[in-house]
C-alpha cells in the first residue's frame, strides 16, 4: 500500500489494525505518524485514547498493555510506536499481531532500516499487517518531487530557481519542505518563488551557486568559475566539495551520453537524458564547447580529484584549491 492510499483511507475513516512503516526515507514515515497523532482522533478523544511511545525509552510490555486496552468515550484508540528500531525485544509483539484488537490502531515507525523478511517475525509482519517500505529518492528525482510539492501549495517556480534550491539542500525531503514553508511565509501573497527568494530566505546566492558554476564551465569562462569558487572558499557551507563534485559529475555524465548520440533537438535530448526541457539548451551549448574526448577527460579528472578530496593521494591541499585546480584543467 502506498502513502497516498493510506492517507486516502484515513481521510475516509478506513483503518487497518496495525501499520508497520519502515525504510530509509523518514519523511513519509513522519508524515503518516504525525497525521495519525493529530487527526485520527478528535482532541477530546485523544486525551483518553492516544498513546505515544519511543523505542529507546519504552518496554515492549508497556506497548502491548496500551494496545490491549479498550478505548474510552470513543470507538477507537491510537497507539504510536516511534523509533521502533530502538525497541528491545520488538519480536514480542508477535502474539498481538496474531490477535490484534479492531478497536486499536497501532502504528509502528521502524526508521532507517527494514526488518529482515527472512526471519520469522519479518515473515509474520508481511503476512498479517499493513507494511509500507519507503525508499530514498534518487537525486535526479528530487527536482520533480520538489516541483510537485510547490505546485500543491499553489505556487510556481522556474526550473533554474528550483534547481538552485534542490542542489543547495540535497536529498533531505523534510528540509526541502521546511525551506519552502519558510519562503511561503515571506512571499506576502505572491505566487511565484524567485531567485531573490532563494537568496533572501534560504541563503543561497543567486550569483554564486552550483548552477552558476556549471553555466560558467559550459561557457569555458575560467575567470567567472574561479570567482564563484572563491566565494565558496569564503563561505564553506555554501557549496562544499562533497556537493560540487557529484553535481558536476552528474552533468558531465549526461553530457557524455548526449555527445555520444546524434540527438541535437532540445525536446528529443531532454527525453534522452531524462531532464527538464529547460536544461536541454545547456547541453546543446556544452556540446558546442566540449569535444567528446574533453568530456571523457573531465569525468576522469573528477574521479581523480574526488579520490584526492577523501584523502587518497592528496597532500596538504585545501578543498578550495583542489576545486580550482580541477576546474582549470577541465576548462583550459
Q: Does 56 have pLDDT greater than 80? A: yes
Closest CA to 250 of 211, 198, 307: 211
Q: What angle do CA 297, 240, 29 make, to 5 degrees?
A: 110
pLDDT, mean of residues 116-141:
94
User: CATH assignment of 3-134?
Assistant: 3.40.50.300
Where exactly does CATH 1.10.8.60 map onto the chain? 139-202
**139-202 has which CATH code?**
1.10.8.60
Beta carbons of 128 and 98 less than 8 angstroms apart: yes
Q: Which residues of 21-54 are buried (b: 16+ CB within 10 A; e: fewer)?
A: bbbebbbbbbbbbeebbeebbeeebbeebbbebe
Q: What is the pTM of this model?
A: 0.82
Fold of 210-331: Zinc Finger, Delta Prime; domain 3 (1.20.272)
Indicate where the chain has its CATH 1.20.272.10 domain(s): 210-331
- Is pLDDT of 69 > 80? yes
C-alpha cell at 228: 564563484
From-to residues of CATH 3.40.50.300 in the chain: 3-134
Q: pLDDT per residue over 235-254, tens digit each?
A: 887 888 888 899 999 999 99
How many whole angstroms separate alpha carbon 246 and alpha carbon 157?
24
pLDDT of residue 299: 96
Longest dimension (CA), the chain: 75
pLDDT in tens, 256-304: 999 999 888 899 999 999 888 888 999 999 999 999 999 999 999 999 9
Mean pLDDT (whole number) for 86-106: 96
pLDDT for the residue 314: 58
pLDDT at 229 over 80: yes
Cell of 154: 499553489
The average confidence (pLDDT) of the chain is 93
316-327 pLDDT tens trace: 788 889 999 999
Amino acid at each position: 500500500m502506498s502513502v497516498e492510499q493510506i492517507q486516502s483511507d484515513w481521510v475516509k475513516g478506513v483503518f487497518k489494525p496495525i501499520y508497520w512503516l519502515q525504510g530509509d526515507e523518514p519523511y513519509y514515515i513522519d508524515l503518516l505518524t504525525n497525521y495519525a497523532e493529530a487527526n485520527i482522533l478528535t482532541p477530546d478523544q485523544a486525551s483518553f485514547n492516544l498513546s505515544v511511545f519511543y523505542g529507546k525509552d519504552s518496554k515492549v510490555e508497556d506497548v502491548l498493555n496500551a494496545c490491549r486496552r479498550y478505548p474510552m468515550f470513543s470507538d477507537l484508540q491510537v497507539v504510536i510506536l516511534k523509533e521502533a528500531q530502538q525497541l528491545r525485544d520488538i519480536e514480542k509483539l508477535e502474539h498481538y499481531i496474531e490477535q490484534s484488537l479492531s478497536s486499536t490502531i497501532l502504528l509502528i515507525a521502524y526508521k532507517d532500516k527494514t526488518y529482515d523478511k527472512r526471519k520469522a517475525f519479518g515473515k509474520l509482519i508481511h503476512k498479517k499487517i499493513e507494511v509500507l517500505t519507503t525508499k530514498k529518492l534518487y537525486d535526479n528525482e528530487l527536482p520533480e518531487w520538489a516541483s510537485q510539492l510547490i505546485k500543491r501549495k499553489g505556487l510556481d517556480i522556474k526550473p533554474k530557481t528550483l534547481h538552485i534550491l534542490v542542489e543547495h539542500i540535497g536529498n533531505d525531503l523534510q528540509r526541502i519542505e521546511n525551506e519552502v514553508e519558510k519562503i511561503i511565509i515571506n512571499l506576502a501573497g505572491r505566487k511565484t518563488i524567485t531567485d531573490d527568494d532563494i537568496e533572501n530566505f534560504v541563503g543561497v546566492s543567486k550569483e554564486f551557486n552550483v548552477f552558476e558554476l556549471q553555466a560558467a564551465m559550459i561557457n569555458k569562462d575560467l575567470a567567472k568559475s574561479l570567482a564563484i569558487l572563491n566565494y565558496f572558499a569564503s563561505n564553506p557551507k555554501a557549496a562544499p566539495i562533497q556537493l560540487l563534485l557529484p553535481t558536476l559529475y552528474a552533468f558531465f555524465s549526461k553530457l557524455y551520453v548526449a555527445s555520444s548520440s546524434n540527438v541535437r533537438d532540445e525536446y528529443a535530448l531532454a527525453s534522452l537524458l531524462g531532464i527538464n526541457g529547460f536544461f536541454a539548451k545547456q547541453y546543446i551549448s556544452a556540446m558546442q564547447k566540449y569535444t567528446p574526448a574533453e568530456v571523457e577527460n573531465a569525468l576522469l579528472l573528477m574521479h581523480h580529484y574526488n579520490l584526492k578530496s577523501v584523502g587518497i593521494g592528496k597532500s596538504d591541499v585545501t578543498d578550495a584549491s583542489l576545486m580550482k585546480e580541477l576546474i582549470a584543467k577541465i576548462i583550459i
